[in-house]
Structure 1
Amino acid sequence: MLSILGFLTIIVFLSLIFTKRLSVLLSLIIVPVIFALVGGFEPKEIGEMILTGIKQVAPTGILLVFAVLYFAIMIDTGLFDPIIKRIIKLAKGDPLKITLGTAILTMLVHLDGDGTATFMITITALLPIYKRLGMNKLILPCIVALSAGVMHLVPWSGTLARALNVMKTDPTHLLIPVLPAMACGILWVLSVAYWLGRQERRRLGIVHLDYDHEQELSENQKRIRRPQLFWFNGIFTVLLIVALVLGLVPPAALFIMGFAVALLVNYPSQVEQRKRLQEHAANVFSVSVVIFAAGVFSGILLGTKMIDAMALSMVAIIPKEHAGYLPVLVGVTGMPLSLVFTPDAYYFGVIPVLKTAAMHYGLNSIEIGRAAILGQMTTGFPLSPLTASTFVLVGLSEVELADHQKFTFKWALGTTLIMTLIAILTGAIHI
């Protein structure tokens, strides 16, 4: 019963946002509450599940609020203007060069394994260029998502940390055998970026962009620029990102302090400080509130044990004579199941069951872990409504989640399928 309710919750939720009959915000709250009530759970129990889920996402929500405010202040000061000018100069108005540059930049930035930081940095720097060229606004989050997804296989990412923990192994046994697959995944992403860029070049042509960036700014934008503080803002931002990567300070606390310093130094007047906050308040609220709604969704799925029931149901439907295909099945389904399972639920709930089943059938259980990381919350995490960073991506890109998922899903699934095929051919997983 719980398994059916769990799958129905996911199906109804995805149907509502894909058809745009209900906003993502309301769907994340209303759908799980209704199915929890149908499952016989008391309102008080549901309320406790909601609070538990919100507590779990609270650090990310707070991080998002102050990180978005911080980078918004940096945009106001003009910190990214030289980067934008440089990229435009190198691309020479060619959409193909822009898309390839987007993929390469994202892969480099995502070497730290932090999706939220990657999305904030890349989208903030590149969105003005895409707007200026008139490119399809869904291409930027698509390429960034694909690039971050394949690079999320680095051993210090949250996903790999979970996989290593559950499989009770080290990167040498889990990750090294799938490196050829990862390399092919990177080539696939670059190929997709090339294809999308070529399509945009055909549509738009090569746009002449020999223009003075200053002339593109409004009078208010010129007024709030702080060129005299460029080096301070640049060095301070680099130090902030280094501290984030090294984990010197909890991320939320880091950006709270960073935002306070940035606002005070660049805009010491309290009147200007209020104006800056008012200017960005709507964007911050619209992005961050969805994070807490996602906490409601995951809190109820976990609290009702729907996710546990779904995991057991999935294992139960595998016929014994087809058990040898289990690693391949895990690899192929990993990316789509990122839309259904949180990383904790999948790696701490589903994978142990699949690992035990593999051992029962005489398979090498480590292959379950290798197959899982080829898609589940790696290539799939930037599309999942269950990860906070997805809402950072779509919010900063100024696109709807449903539109992003429709546009990007086939390319992300392609990444997983390519990597699974290479993993089979190289012996990382067997049939």
Structure 2
Amino acid sequence: MISLLGFLTVTVILVLLLTNRVTAVVALAGVPVATALAAGFTPTEIGGFVAEGLGGVVGVTAMFIFAIVYFGLMRDAGMFDPVIRRLVAFAGNAPVTICLATTALAMAAHLDGAGATTFLITIPAMLPLFDRLGMSRLVLTTCVGLGAGVMNLVPWGGPTARAAATAGVPANELWVPLIPAQIAGAIAVLAIAWFLGTREQRRLRSGVGAVAGAPLAAVGAPGASGGAGSGGRAGGTTSDGDAARTPGPGSASSEPEAAGAEDTADLRRPRLLWFNVALTVALIAALIAAVAPPEALFLVGVVVALVVNYAGLARQTARIEAHAKGAMLMATTLLAAGVFLGILEGSGMIEAMATTAANALPDGAAPALPLIVGLLGVPLSLVFGPDPYYFGVLPVLIGVGEQAGISGADLAQASMLGEETVGFPISPLTGSFYLLVGLAGVDIGKHIRHLIGWAWLVSVVMLVVAVATGVIPLWAT
């Protein structure tokens, strides 16, 4: 019963998010509370689950608020203007080059294996350029998500570390055999970026606000409702994706007109350019080096940026108000996600779902278990977060696989090809997912629909290479 309610909760939330029926806050907080009551838990018990879940996301929420304000201040001060000018001069009006550069930047930034840091580096840097050329923000999140996802296989990344702990195999021994598959995935990601850039270029030239379908549309892939054109602007018109999106740093709605008091030129601080660059570099370096919690670092960054760039109560208040809407909208979504995760974990739904999913496997399919796990890794990221999957589902799968002569390492490596690696940028069960969509200011449902097909395609490419190189067995004997 509890397992059924868990799957029902996740399904209803995904349907509501993907169809834009309600706000993310209503779906993520309302549905779990309703199903927990239906499961027989008392309001007091549910309150405890909620408190536990909120405690797990409060740090991410605080970081998000201060990060939005910080990068908004840097945008107001003009720190990104020289970067935009140079990129435009290099790429001209070539979306292909921009998409390739965005994807490569995300891959490089994700070498530390931290999704939040990757998104904080790439989105604020590239978003103003995408907006300047009228390119779709959904293309931006897709390129960044794919670049980060394919690099998430590194042994110091979260999924690989969890898989190694569960399988009892050193992380390096899981990763090294998968390097050819990861290289193939990186090539596939760059090829997709080239294709998306080409499609954006055609759309911008024709002035059409939507684009034709793309591979895997049947599973909510690119080109389905909310496709590449739904988040961008063309020909001076605003699409439904722009109208509904949450403001992000560098977006049109974070411009000075939001405060209604100052002109863009009045906010620029060209004499403080190098100070702001140094401050940002120091902040990112501190994030990577884990000098302090990210929320504390961004809080300090906001304080210094406000004092140096916008002295005085009136100016500082106006800048905070200009960026408060976008920050608070996504902060409430993150807190609602905490409610969702807290109830699913505290009520035992996640554990029951893991057992049910593993036991549902037909006996005759056991020899093909690694192949099945590899194929379903990306869509499973919509249902199981990294901890529930690698510490809940994977141990059960390893137990089933051992009876068919399948090693735990095979199942761990198959999982790493999709589950919370390439799949993590579409997973509502990870905090960095909300950072990605929030910083870019895109609708959650449209982002998932736009990215899931491409992510699944990259995962399949890596799986094919892993099978061809003998890492993943087609059939256990």
What TM-score range do you get, normalising by the shorter chain?
over 0.9
Deviation >4 Å, runs of 4+: 216-219
Q: Which moved more, 1:277-286 or 1:346-355?
A: 346-355
Work out whether residues 180 and 465 of structure 2, in 8 Å CA contact, stay in contact via their aligned partners in 1.
yes
Instruction: Show the counterpart of 2:303.
Output: 260
| 2: CA distance, partners of 1:67 / 1:133 | 24
Work out whether residues 68 and 120 of structure 1, in 8 Å CA contact, stay in contact via their aligned partners in 2.
no
Secondary structure of 1:339 counterpart: coil
Work out whether residues 64 and 288 of structure 1, in 8 Å CA contact, stay in contact via their aligned partners in 2.
yes
Work out whether residues 161 and 171 of structure 2, in 8 Å CA contact, stay in contact via their aligned partners in 1.
no
Instruction: Show the counterpart of 2:23.
Output: 23
**Alignment RMSD (CA, Å):** 1.8
How many Å apart are 1:368 and its aligned residue?
Answer: 1.2
Instruction: Show the counterpart of 1:164.
Output: 164
Q: Deviations over 1:372-391 (max 9, x none)?
A: 11111111111111112222
The 5-angstrom pairing of residues 150-189 of structure 1 reads 150-189=150-189
Q: Which amino acid aligns with 2:152?
A: H
Secondary structure of 2:191 counterpart: helix
| 2: CA distance, partners of 1:121 / 1:206 | 32
| Pairing partner for 1:237 from 250, 271, 280 | 280
How many Å apart are 1:44 and its aligned residue?
Answer: 1.0
Q: Which amino acid aligns with 2:373?
A: V
| 2: CA distance, partners of 1:174 / 1:324 | 20
Work out whether residues 343 and 377 of structure 1, in 8 Å CA contact, stay in contact via their aligned partners in 2.
yes
Unmatched runs of 5 consecutive residues or more in structure 1 = 208-215
The 5-angstrom pairing of residues 38-117 of structure 1 reads 38-117=38-117
Q: Which amino acid aligns with 1:109?
A: A
| 1: CA distance, partners of 2:415 / 2:43 | 36
How many Å apart are 1:193 and its aligned residue?
Answer: 0.7
| Pairing partner for 1:382 from 400, 422, 425 | 425
Work out whether residues 162 and 344 of structure 1, in 8 Å CA contact, stay in contact via their aligned partners in 2.
yes
| 1: CA distance, partners of 2:263 / 2:156 | 42
How many Å apart are 1:217 and its aligned residue?
Answer: 9.5
| 1: CA distance, partners of 2:399 / 2:418 | 20
Q: Which amino acid aligns with 1:33?
A: V
Q: Which amino acid aligns with 1:299?
A: G
Instruction: Show the counterpart of 1:295.
Output: 338
| 2: CA distance, partners of 1:171 / 1:48 | 35
Residue 197, structure 1, aligned to residue 197, structure 2: yes
Instruction: Show the counterpart of 1:286.
Output: 329
Instruction: Show the counterpart of 2:131.
Output: 131
| 1: CA distance, partners of 2:76 / 2:418 | 37
The 5-angstrom pairing of residues 328-407 of structure 1 reads 328-407=371-450
Residue 145, structure 1, aligned to residue 156, structure 2: no
Work out whether residues 130 and 137 of structure 2, in 8 Å CA contact, stay in contact via their aligned partners in 1.
yes
Work out whether residues 76 and 256 of structure 2, in 8 Å CA contact, stay in contact via their aligned partners in 1.
no
| 2: CA distance, partners of 1:113 / 1:230 | 30
Q: Deviations over 1:218-263 (max 9, x none)?
A: 8722111111121121122112111111212122222222222222
Instruction: Show the counterpart of 2:462.
Output: 419
| 2: CA distance, partners of 1:251 / 1:181 | 32
Work out whether residues 152 and 379 of structure 1, in 8 Å CA contact, stay in contact via their aligned partners in 2.
yes
Residue 248, structure 1, aligned to residue 291, structure 2: yes
| 2: CA distance, partners of 1:391 / 1:373 | 22
Q: Which amino acid aligns with 1:320?
A: D
| 2: CA distance, partners of 1:217 / 1:29 | 33
| 1: CA distance, partners of 2:75 / 2:166 | 41
| 2: CA distance, partners of 1:270 / 1:384 | 40
Work out whether residues 152 and 422 of structure 2, in 8 Å CA contact, stay in contact via their aligned partners in 1.
yes
How many Å apart are 1:158 and its aligned residue?
Answer: 2.3
TM-score (norm 1): 0.94
Secondary structure of 1:413 counterpart: helix
Specify whether residues 286 and 409 from structure 1 end up closer, same or farther in structure 2 by C-alpha distance, changes over 3 A only: same
Q: Which amino acid aligns with 2:48?
A: E
| 2: CA distance, partners of 1:83 / 1:16 | 38
Instruction: Show the counterpart of 1:316.
Output: 359
| 2: CA distance, partners of 1:360 / 1:64 | 45
Q: Which amino acid aligns with 1:332?
A: L
Q: Which amino acid aligns with 1:126?
A: M
How many Å apart are 1:118 and its aligned residue?
Answer: 1.7
| 1: CA distance, partners of 2:388 / 2:120 | 26
How many Å apart are 1:426 and its aligned residue?
Answer: 0.9
Instruction: Show the counterpart of 1:212.
Output: none
Give % identity: 44
| 2: CA distance, partners of 1:326 / 1:151 | 24
Q: Deviations over 1:334-356 (max 9, x none)?
A: 11111111211111111121122
| 2: CA distance, partners of 1:398 / 1:257 | 24
| 1: CA distance, partners of 2:264 / 2:459 | 43
Work out whether residues 298 and 342 of structure 1, in 8 Å CA contact, stay in contact via their aligned partners in 2.
no
| 2: CA distance, partners of 1:329 / 1:32 | 29
Secondary structure of 2:421 counterpart: coil
Work out whether residues 437 and 443 of structure 2, in 8 Å CA contact, stay in contact via their aligned partners in 1.
yes
Instruction: Show the counterpart of 2:264.
Output: 221
Work out whether residues 256 and 322 of structure 2, in 8 Å CA contact, stay in contact via their aligned partners in 1.
no
